[in-house]
Amino acid sequence: MHPLEQLRQFARQLPPAQGVQLERLARELEGERGALKAMQAIGIKLSRVRDAFDVLTLFQDVLAEALSLMGAGRTALALLSDGELRVVDSRSVAGDEDPQVSKTLLERVLRTQQPIITTNVQEDEGLNMLASASILALDIRSVLAVPLRSRDAVIGVLYADTQFIERVFTDGDATMLETFASQVGVAVMQARALQEEHDSFVTLVRVMLSTLDKRDPYTAGHSERVGLYTQALAQRLGWSASDQERALFAGRVHDIGKIGIRDQYLEIKGPLTLEERAVLEQHTLIGFDIIQQSGKRLEAIAPVVRSHHERWDGMGYPDGIAGDEIPLLARMVGIADAFDAMTTARLYSVAKTWDRAFEILREVAGLQFDASLVEPFITAVKEQRVANEVDRINRTGELELLALSA
Ligand SMILES: [Fe+2]
Ligand SMILES: [Fe+2]
């Protein structure tokens, strides 16, 4: 039996006055135990943060835990960005989409770098003067707001309040919220460092891709468009925002291995000899190596780059895998790639209309492509947004060509 349960049993045997006291003590201990467990769980997640998306999930966890452990009505997290304090996430028992939090109050915590704890806002002169309108309107009883520190600077505020109910925050709640705030502070710094690293990597990849496009002006914008089509399909399939981002990236980098293929092979106009074909097909394996060596974040993309020329019937390359063996995202990129190749002019062929390309995709569904993806793909790229984006990419492509010939 857990010691807390033993304590409770003991409490039941005592005379009522002491029993009640002991029962209250057991409840407090249980609360602290819950808080400790939550903080441990968040600490573990914190050590596993790999990208900005993990950090956003961590924010949600912290706000939800703070809400339930402190018996709060609402919790919110505000971060300083470009000199302005913005609420980046919030939770409320009532399920409000966008709970209003007093900005004046948050800014005071930021300015003074001191926590605010008040047991009765409605009677707190100083606070009422500060933010009377919003606080009175929302019938807020108790407010707790602590600064979010990262090294020496305050970078935001973690906030909790109780609405409509008599619950008031205690010093114990303040300590708990401060512990959460320090965890969030570490997460934010980690997220910013990861984001910077990621941004510079993405810039490097884009420079590589535009170099690739410039070597082969007829395919200018190919990487960008394949990224766009793959992302549109992912959206159509109901993928999350971060998975759509992954789809966009995979589409953009699918041909990155062409960097390692000599120009003379990329420029061949007519039918390919067996040897030429073998050299060109190497771009899947070269791309796989490049992406695999680019860090843990991109691990999942490497097999997509490798398999974007596989076919549903197993007649593709480099591994000749078939059906579900081909990673889903690679099957998606494969369709996007073929669609773009058909609808743009190449050295050896003229551009087909979109409708003709749709017909061809339908004809080879189940042979070359996963049949379950073809219709969603067609619906996805017919969206006006996609057409507008293609226009934009093509215009930029033209500018690049002009710059090249100048
Ligand atoms: Fe390719
Ligand atoms: Fe391609």
- Ligand that lies nearest to the alpha carbon of residue 340, given by its number in the listed order: 2
Give 309 Cα–ligand 1 centroid separation in angstroms: 6
Question: Average model confidence (pLDDT) for the chain?
Answer: 84
Q: Which domain, by its residues, includes 272?
A: 216-405
The whole-number average pLDDT for the span 333-351 is 89
User: Are 41 and 96 in the same domain?
Assistant: no
Q: Is residue 266 part of a domain?
A: yes
Q: Is the CB of residue 310 less than 8 Å from the CB of residue 316?
A: yes
Task: CATH number of the domain at 177, please.
Answer: 3.30.450.40
28 has a pLDDT exceeding 60: yes
- Using an 8 Å Cβ cutoff, are 234 and 249 in contact? no
- Give the Å distance between the CA of 254 and the centre of ligand 2: 6
Question: Picking from 138-147, 163-172, 227-236, 268-277, which range would have the lowest pLDDT averaged per residue?
Answer: 163-172
Same domain as 63, residue 38: no
Residues 220 and 259 in one domain: yes
Alpha helices in 220-327 (DSSP H): 222-236, 241-253, 263-266, 274-292, 302-307
State whether 30 and 59 are in the same domain: no
Whether residues 17 and 142 share a domain: the answer is no
- Does 200 map to a domain? no
Residues above pLDDT 90, as percent of the chain:
33
User: Of the ligands numbered here, which is closest to the C-alpha atom of 346?
Assistant: 2
* Ligand sitting nearest the alpha carbon of 281: 1
Q: Which ligand is nearest to the CA of 226?
A: 2
Residue 343: phi and psi, rounded to 5, are -95, 5
Bridge partners of 159, per DSSP, are 76, 145
Q: Point out the ligand nearest to the CA of residue 305.
A: 1
> Among residues 190, 166, 145, 181, which one has the least CA distance to residue 65?
181
- Pair 174, 235 in one domain: no
Task: Provide the residues around ligand 2 (an ion) whose CB is within 5 A.
Answer: 255, 337
Which tens digit of pLDDT belongs to each residue from 239-282?
A: 998 899 899 999 999 999 998 888 888 878 778 899 999 999 99
Cβ partners under 8 Å of residue 379, min gap 6: 236
CB 169 within 8 A of CB 70: yes
Which pLDDT value is given to residue 56?
Answer: 75
Q: Is the pLDDT of residue 127 over 90?
A: no
* Stretch 339-347: mean pLDDT: 87
Mean local confidence (pLDDT), 219-236? 92
Between the CA of 373 and the centroid of ligand 2 the distance, in Å, is 18
| pLDDT value for 382 | 96
Mean pLDDT, residues 28-50: 76
361 plus 400 within the same structural domain: yes
265 and 361 fall within a common domain: yes
Q: What is the pLDDT of residue 405?
A: 33
Greater confidence (219 vs 352) lies with 352
Number of domains in the chain: 3
What mean pLDDT comes out for the span 163-168? 69
Q: 384 with 240, same domain?
A: yes
Comparing 222 with 10, the larger pLDDT belongs to 222
Element (H, E) at 162: strand 153-163
CATH number at residue 356: 1.10.3210.10
In a domain, 4, yes or no: yes
Is residue 133 domain-shared with residue 65, that is, in the same domain?
Answer: yes
